[in-house]
């Protein structure tokens, strides 16, 4: 080996060492990674919407990592866990998730996650963020599980008050509710409406609450009963199969009572199960987030960005909107926590504190959610609650009303 | 009063639908002494076959229904050949465990082949109900009830009056003894599974006509379970009475008690009736009482 070669090698090694030394702090700063545990249902009752929901919420973290995360020096890593929408499965998975990921937050899916983890998360100091509306049975102070939307009952009551205003007159609006005891969440949806109607008989008259199976055999007789009782609206926030059975029951009776659905069993999903959106002409979906209609909106524009720049394949519908809004408000809370406490030692506890520290504005969630002000009093914002109403007009989903006020509802 | 009578009629017809699905349990049990826990999954498989031939292949109902029944029979045959034929001569318990595995497997296969989306099920029976004065009778349940009664009468005759049916009963008694008597155990069990799959497909058509199809529909298997146990696992004719009793009890509970107590007692009542009858008569209403000499 000649001196030239030796010098060359040494020089190369020195340059390499310098490059590594120079890059190390930057690399460490850029790779502060925090983990998120995603609870998913690819093989249970919500398997039909899960691929879209999963892609929509995952892409938000990919987008965040490439934009705000890069600026802040933080990467959000995520991993899906299959729960089959089963509380026992969630409970058995949780210790493993905790030891494997040590997550700073859980990206939740539905009622079984709440039922399984509501006692454990406060002990483990990990907050869980849902995409759905909240549940009355989980309406407790000092929560560790949060919903960007109020309870399903809040959302349906906002819709019913809006419908009564549209109808005019002083009479209470007559409503029937279809629920199921297959899930505590389904019962909860009906209980809140029932209590509100008892306290406000001048506003709402519940003609009947029908409990049925998740795949009803036949609802023709039940639909005749509610039609004869003069119901002006049917509230179905359970699943698409019940919407289909109720619609068939109404059609068999020649009755035309508008159905209000929620986000997880909304117009696109129920329309597809009925053989086309046209079957739901004049029916509604109502919830506290953006309606995925054809009209241009900040939410729609942001969705188009995700499609064009980040390869989002999920169609523009309510499930995609749910996934995006969930990802967005979680990313914003984490961002607030980084700004408040720094990027280096973030914990689940600090993320939760950041949630209460300042509101998540509607601009931060690109119009997907209204401005959310969380307090330790409840797992969802108690003030400034709004719902948006979508409908089917000429075979297409259209926005019927936005920013509809949600009434104050007593705890049940 | 009209509503009350209407609720009784609707309840009886829903009960007959349960009887039809329960007939799948009984046919397989009578031929092989195996209680098939995957009966609800056979209903879904049948439902997906009907959906595929009708809405995917675009065949008319006159073509798709017989084709679906043939395909369902082939599925039943394949299940028996792949999973059960090697267990002939083994304990009934082993076979029952296989059916539990089958339950999980079939759910997975449905997800794998058809995906998880909720699909519209073709309208097989008219949506317009039959109006009798103030009474309303869903057409799918009415036609389904007639089919169930015809199927029960036909199968009762087959099992009790024909040589093939009696052979199948002998197989259920003891595989080894039946085999030594020159009876083809394999053929008998295969035929029972073919029949079970066909009955499940007919059940799917009645249950899901004009509604939606997901794997949640398999829950009807569990709804039919109390009917099968209430009637006694060997009695096909008894299924009619058991189904009607359970259907009426469920309907009246759902329509009159549930609104009062604000709960879904209706879904529990069939099991309460089943447990009550099993306490009094462990073999069910019409099940065979066997005497074992030791």
A72-130 confidence digits (pLDDT tens)? 999 999 999 999 889 999 999 999 999 999 999 999 998 889 889 999 999 999 999 99
Q: A310 with A272, same domain?
A: no
Of residues B148 and A275, more confidence is placed in B148
Q: Is residue A366 part of a domain?
A: yes
Average pLDDT of chain B is: 88
Token representation of residue A364: 């931060």
* pLDDT of A158 above 70: yes
Which H or E run contains A256?
Answer: none
Question: Chain A: residue nearest B8 by CA?
Answer: A221
Q: Is residue A410 part of a domain?
A: no
Q: Is residue A262 part of a domain?
A: yes
- Which chain B residues touch A278 with a CB distance below 8 Å? none
B82-141 residues touching A, CB cutoff 8 A: 107-108, 111, 115-120, 127-129, 136, 138, 140-141
Q: A366 with A395, same domain?
A: no
Q: A280 with A347, same domain?
A: no
State whether B116 and A241 contact (CB < 8 Å).
no
Predicted confidence band of residue A159 (pLDDT cuts 50, 70, 90) = very high
State whether A221 and B10 contact (CB < 8 Å).
yes
SS3 of residue A403 by DSSP: strand
Q: Is residue A139 part of a domain?
A: yes
SS3 of residue A84 by DSSP: coil
State whether B6 and A248 contact (CB < 8 Å).
no
Q: A216 with A335, same domain?
A: no
* pLDDT of A290 above 50: yes
Q: Which residues contact A149 (CB under 8 A, 6 or more apart)?
A: A132, A133, A134, A155, A287, A288, A289, A369, A380
Which H or E run contains A263?
Answer: none
State whether A48 and B220 contact (CB < 8 Å).
no
d(CA B127, CA A368) in angstroms, rounded, equals 39
Q: A12 with A143, same domain?
A: yes
Under DSSP, the state recorded for A236 is E
Q: A313 with A278, same domain?
A: no
Instruction: Name the residue among A180, A221, A239 with its Cβ closest to that of B6.
Output: A221
Start-to-end C-alpha separation, chain B: 56
What was the pLDDT predicted at A26? 41
pLDDT tens, residue by residue, B85-119: 887 777 778 888 888 899 889 988 888 888 777 88
Q: Which residues contact A69 (CB under 8 A, 6 or more apart)?
A: A75, A76
Predicted confidence band of residue B180 (pLDDT cuts 50, 70, 90) = confident
Q: Is residue A63 part of a domain?
A: yes
What was the pLDDT predicted at B284? 82
- Which chain B residues touch A412 with a CB distance below 8 Å? none
Q: A130 with A238, same domain?
A: no
Predicted confidence band of residue A398 (pLDDT cuts 50, 70, 90) = very high
Q: A47 with A174, same domain?
A: no
Q: Is residue A18 part of a domain?
A: yes
Q: Is A399 on the interface with B (CB under 8 A)?
A: no
- Which chain B residues touch A217 with a CB distance below 8 Å? 14, 17, 141, 207, 220
- Inter-CA distances, A83 with A69, A239, A287, Å: 29, 18, 25
Predicted confidence band of residue A366 (pLDDT cuts 50, 70, 90) = very high
Q: Which residues contact A34 (CB under 8 A, 6 or more apart)?
A: A74, A75, A76, A77, A103, A104, A334, A346
What was the pLDDT predicted at A23? 45
State whether B14 and A217 contact (CB < 8 Å).
yes
State whether A252 and B259 contact (CB < 8 Å).
no
Q: Is residue A412 part of a domain?
A: no
Q: Considering only A25-29, A54-58, A189-193, B215-219, which range has the smallest mean pLDDT?
A: A25-29
What was the pLDDT predicted at B265? 80
Neighbour-count burial of B291, counting CB atoms closer than 10 A to its CB (0-12 exposed, 13-18 middle, 19+ buried): exposed
Q: What is the mean pLDDT of residues B110-139?
A: 87
Token representation of residue A378: 């409840």
Q: Is residue A78 part of a domain?
A: yes
Q: Considering only A33-42, A211-220, A354-363, which range has the smallest mean pLDDT?
A: A211-220
Q: Considering only A306-320, B168-182, B252-266, which range has the smallest mean pLDDT?
A: B252-266
What was the pLDDT predicted at A255? 93
What was the pLDDT predicted at B293? 63
Q: Is B150 on the interface with A (CB under 8 A)?
A: no
Say which residue the tokens 């087959």 belong to: B158
Q: Which residues contact B195 (CB under 8 A, 6 or more apart)?
A: B24, B27, B28, B73, B76, B155
- The count of domains in chain A is 2
**Phi and psi torsions of A76, nearest 5°:** -100, 115
pLDDT tens, residue by residue, A194-203: 999 999 999 9
What was the pLDDT predicted at A29? 47
* Interface pTM, i.e. ipTM: 0.79
Q: A249 with A370, same domain?
A: no
Of residues A26 and A249, more confidence is placed in A249
What was the pLDDT predicted at B183? 86
Question: Chain A: residue nearest B15 by CA?
Answer: A217
Q: What is the mean pLDDT of residues A289-295?
A: 90
Residues A315/A48, Cβ–Cβ less than 8 Å: no
Q: A18 with A145, same domain?
A: yes
State whether A241 and B118 contact (CB < 8 Å).
yes
Q: A232 with A221, same domain?
A: yes
Q: Residue A159 sits in which domain range?
A: 152-287+387-405
In angstroms, the separation between the Cα of residue B211 and the nearest Cα of chain A is 6
What was the pLDDT predicted at B291? 64
What was the pLDDT predicted at B66? 96
Q: A266 with A396, same domain?
A: yes
State whether B117 and A272 contact (CB < 8 Å).
yes
| SS3 track for chain B | CHHHHHHHHHHHHHHHHHHHHHHHHHHHHHHHCCCCCCHHHHHHHHHHHHHHHHHHCCCCHHHHHHHHHHHHHHHHHHHHHHHHHHHCCCCHHHHHHHHHHHHHHHHHHHHHHHCCCCEECCCCCCCCCEEECCEEECHHHHHHHHHHHHHHHHHHHHHHHCHHHHHHHHHHHCHHHHHHCCCCHHHHHHHHHHHHHHHHHHHHHHHHCCCEECHHHHHHHHHHHHHHHHHCCCCCHHHHHHHHHHHHHHHHHHHHHHHHHCCCHHHCHHHHHHHHHHHHCCCCCCCCCCCCCC
CATH number for the domain harbouring residue A76: 3.40.50.2300
State whether A180 and B264 contact (CB < 8 Å).
yes
Q: Considering only A33-42, A254-263, A346-355, B134-143, which range has the smallest mean pLDDT?
A: B134-143
């Amino acid at each position: 080996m000649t001196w030239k070669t030796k010098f060359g090698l040494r020089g190369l090694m020195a340059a390499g060492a310098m490059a590594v030394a120079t890059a190390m702090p930057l690399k460490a700063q850029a790779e502060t990674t925090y983990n998120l545990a995603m609870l998913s249902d690819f093989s249970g009752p919500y398997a039909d919407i899960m691929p879209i929901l999963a892609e929509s919420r995952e892409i938000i973290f990919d987008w965040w990592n490439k934009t705000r995360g890069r600026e802040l020096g933080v990467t959000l890593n995520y991993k899906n866990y299959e729960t089959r929408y089963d509380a026992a499965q969630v409970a058995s998975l949780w210790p493993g998730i905790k030891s494997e990921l040590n997550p700073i937050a859980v990206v939740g899916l539905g009622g079984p996650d709440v039922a399984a983890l509501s006692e454990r998360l406060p002990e483990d100091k990990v907050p869980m963020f849902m995409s759905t509306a909240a549940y009355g049975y989980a309406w407790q102070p000092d929560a560790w599980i949060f919903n960007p939307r109020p309870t399903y009952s809040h959302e349906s009551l906002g819709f019913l008050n809006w419908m009564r205003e549209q109808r005019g007159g002083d009479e209470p609006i007559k409503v029937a509710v279809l629920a199921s005891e297959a899930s505590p969440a389904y019962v909860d949806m009906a209980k809140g409406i029932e209590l509100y109607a008892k306290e406000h008989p001048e506003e709402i008259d519940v003609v009947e609450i029908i409990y049925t199976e998740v795949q009803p055999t036949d609802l023709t007789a039940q639909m005749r009963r509610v039609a004869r009782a003069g119901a002006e609206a049917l509230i179905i926030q359970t699943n698409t199969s019940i919407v289909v059975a109720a619609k068939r029951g109404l059609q068999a009776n020649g009755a035309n009572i508008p159905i209000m659905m929620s986000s997880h069993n909304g117009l696109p999903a129920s329309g597809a199960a009925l053989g086309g959106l046209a079957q739901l002409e004049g029916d509604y979906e109502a919830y506290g987030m953006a309606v995925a209609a054809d009209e241009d909106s900040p939410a729609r524009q942001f969705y188009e960005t995700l499609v064009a720049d980040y390869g989002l394949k999920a169609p523009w519908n309510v499930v995609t909107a749910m996934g995006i809004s969930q990802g967005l408000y979680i990313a914003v809370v984490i961002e607030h926590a980084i700004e408040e406490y720094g990027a280096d030692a973030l914990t689940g506890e600090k993320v939760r504190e950041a949630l209460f520290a300042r509101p998540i504005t509607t601009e931060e969630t690109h119009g997907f959610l209204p401005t959310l002000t969380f307090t330790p009093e409840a797992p969802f914002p108690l003030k400034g609650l709004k719902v948006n109403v979508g409908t089917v007009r000429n075979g297409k989903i259209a926005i019927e009303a936005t920013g509809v006020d949600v009434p104050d509802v007593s705890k049940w | 009063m009209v509503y009350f009578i209407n609720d009784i009629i609707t309840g009886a017809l829903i009960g007959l639908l349960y009887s039809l699905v329960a007939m799948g349990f009984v046919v397989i049990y009578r031929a092989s002494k195996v209680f098939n826990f995957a009966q609800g999954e056979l209903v879904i498989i049948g439902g997906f076959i009907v959906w595929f031939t009708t809405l995917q292949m675009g065949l008319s109902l006159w073509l798709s229904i017989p084709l679906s029944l043939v395909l369902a029979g082939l599925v039943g045959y394949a299940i028996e050949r792949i999973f059960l034929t090697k267990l002939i001569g083994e304990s009934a318990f082993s076979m029952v465990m296989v059916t539990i595995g089958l339950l999980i497997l079939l759910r997975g296969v449905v997800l794998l082949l058809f995906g998880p989306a909720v699909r519209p099920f073709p309208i097989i029976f008219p949506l317009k109900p039959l109006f009798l004065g103030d009474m309303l009778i869903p057409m799918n349940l009415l036609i389904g009830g007639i089919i169930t009664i015809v199927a029960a009468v036909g199968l009762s005759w087959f099992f009790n009056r024909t040589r093939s049916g009696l052979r199948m009963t002998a197989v259920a008694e003891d595989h080894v003894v039946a085999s030594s008597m020159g009876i083809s155990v394999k053929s008998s069990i295969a035929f029972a599974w073919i029949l079970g799959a066909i009955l499940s497909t007919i059940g799917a058509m009645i249950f899901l006509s004009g509604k939606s199809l997901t794997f949640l529909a398999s829950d009807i298997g569990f709804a039919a379970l109390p009917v099968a146990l209430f009637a006694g696992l060997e009695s096909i004719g008894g299924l009619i009475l058991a189904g009607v009793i359970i259907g009426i009890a469920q309907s009246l509970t759902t329509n009159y008690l549930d609104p009062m107590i604000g709960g879904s007692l209706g879904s529990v009542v069939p099991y309460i009736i089943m447990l009550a009858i099993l306490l009094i008569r462990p073999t069910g209403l019409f099940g065979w009482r066997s005497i074992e000499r030791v």
